[in-house]
Amino acid sequence: MQVEVKSGTDQYTVQQTRLQSVIEQVSSRDMIITDTNVLACYPALSNSKGQIISIPAGEESKSFVQYEAVVEQIFQAGFLRNGTVFAIGGGVVGDLAGFVAATVHRGVRLVQVPTSLLAMVDSSVGGKVGIDLSYGKNLLGSFYNPASVYIDPTVLQTLPTEHFQNGMAEVIKYGWILDVELLEILKKENFSVNSHNLEEIVFRCVALKRDVVEADFTEKSGLRAILNFGHTVGHALEAQAEYKNLLHGQAIAVGMVAEVAIANELGLSQIRTQDVESLFQQYQLPIRPTSYVNIDQLISLMLGDKKSTGNGIAMSLVLEPGQCKLVDNIDPALVRRVLANIWS
């Protein structure tokens, strides 16, 4: 299976390839960047002809300190401009290694090899790379396309279940914003890492993301913002939880349910919240916050969301299944009322 992506003057292929054959492609000029968990599951990564840098697993590694450490190691290893960076891991590795590739020698060839479901269906496609700062997530980065993306769905066998569910939240999101048929398929089949047709779902999502980023690579026209359905509330929940004990997929599942209720209250949609909730429940994702939430603080965080232009709260709302639109200027009092109501 494969998907072609055209992005500005760049063009690359996302293709299904076994991890072993990726490892065999790595030359002595190249550098693999991975994390400790992925390396522990796939020790064969150490047998490639290239050198390897393994960062500690987890979001904390998407930091300036870790970026500097990786860059130091890259230069110490004598990495030259004609080398390729292979980012082999989840979204953390992809974002950090992508930013390293974008900046070392003012940009070297990057190959993305996503190993988590979230990275396969979302972060490895679209060219956003970067790191977190103490001021917030993903604040330092750039748009930097890979030369290729290789996906081996069999590596999902070793992905912890909660991270599989995390990725499923983004898969379900694609259904609600762009692809009603996908929602039906997800309802009918209970996908797990053992599903024989999992790659069909993965590549379907890759094609959907491709369509969006091809139309709006640098988030200028507003179309790319539809990928943010559930994310205004979700990001605020993650920030309030200080990114601990709450996975991104869990936060946006709660966020999608809430944002459907908000769209209904605004009179923009008539989607039954039970329909949204049931699919998340089917995939063991939460539909309400599982610990205490300070709604007033959440509203302040949402007012500061990058989609907001200064007046009210901005959200990418689903108007009907498969159709999503960025809505600006939503009254914070209405959002507060809806959240207090559905989370009481």
Ligand X SMILES: NC(=O)c1ccc[n+]([C@@H]2O[C@H](COP(=O)([O-])OP(=O)(O)OC[C@H]3O[C@@H](n4cnc5c(N)ncnc54)[C@H](O)[C@@H]3O)[C@@H](O)[C@H]2O)c1
Catalytic: 170?
yes
Whose Cβ is closer to ligand X: residue 41's or residue 319's? 41
Do 240 and 301 form a contact (C-beta atoms < 8 A)? yes
Minimum Å gap between C-beta 34 and ligand X is 9
Catalytic: 224?
yes
Catalytic: 238?
no
**Could you tell me which of 174, 160, 286, 309 has the C-alpha nearest to residue 234?**
286
Catalytic site residue from 62, 210, 235, 307: 235
Minimum Å gap between C-beta 148 and ligand X is 16
**Could you tell me which of 258, 274, 257, 275 has the C-alpha nearest to residue 338?**
258
- Residue showing the smallest CB distance to ligand X in the complex: 91
Minimum Å gap between C-beta 268 and ligand X is 26
Catalytic site residue from 163, 210, 248, 307: 248
Q: Is 166 helix (H, G, I), strand (E, B) or coil?
A: helix
186 backbone dihedrals φ, ψ, rounded to 5°: -65, -35
Helix or strand holding residue 32 (H, E)? strand 31-35
Residue 49's CB: how many other CB atoms inside 10 A?
A: 12
Catalytic site residue from 170, 199, 238, 259: 170
Catalytic: 128?
yes
Catalytic site residue from 166, 228, 238, 259: 228
108 backbone dihedrals φ, ψ, rounded to 5°: -125, 170
From edge to edge, which strands make up the β-sheet containing 31-35?
2-7, 10-16, 148-151, 109-114, 84-89, 31-35, 51-55
Catalytic site residue from 166, 224, 238, 307: 224
Residue corresponding to tokens 């987890």: 58
Minimum Å gap between C-beta 91 and ligand X is 2
Whose Cβ is closer to ligand X: residue 173's or residue 204's? 173
Minimum Å gap between C-beta 14 and ligand X is 13
- The secondary structure of residue 257, as a DSSP letter, is H
Whose Cβ is closer to ligand X: residue 92's or residue 202's? 92
Whose Cβ is closer to ligand X: residue 104's or residue 120's? 120
Catalytic site residue from 204, 231, 238, 307: 231
183 backbone dihedrals φ, ψ, rounded to 5°: -60, -40
Minimum Å gap between C-beta 274 and ligand X is 28
Minimum Å gap between C-beta 80 and ligand X is 26
Residue corresponding to tokens 């959200």: 315
Whose Cβ is closer to ligand X: residue 17's or residue 116's? 116
Dihedral through CA 141, CA 143, CA 144, CA 149, nearest 10? 110
Whose Cβ is closer to ligand X: residue 136's or residue 184's? 136
Integer angstrom CA distances of residue 295 from 33, 240, 265, 291, 317 = 39, 10, 17, 12, 20
Catalytic: 59?
no
Query: In 134-266, where do the E strands start and end?
Result: 136-143, 148-151
Mention every residue, 6+ apart, whose C-beta is less than 8 A from residue 255. 230, 231, 232, 233, 234, 235, 237
Distance CA 179, CA 167 (A): 17
Whose Cβ is closer to ligand X: residue 188's or residue 196's? 196
Catalytic site residue from 209, 238, 259, 307: 209
What are the beta bridge partners of residue 279? Answer: none
Residues that bind ligand X in the complex, under the rule CB under 6 A: 35, 37-38, 41, 57-59, 62, 89-93, 95, 115-116, 118-119, 122-123, 126, 128, 137-138, 155, 158-159, 163, 166, 248
Active-site residues: which are they? 106, 128, 170, 209, 219, 224, 228, 231, 235, 248
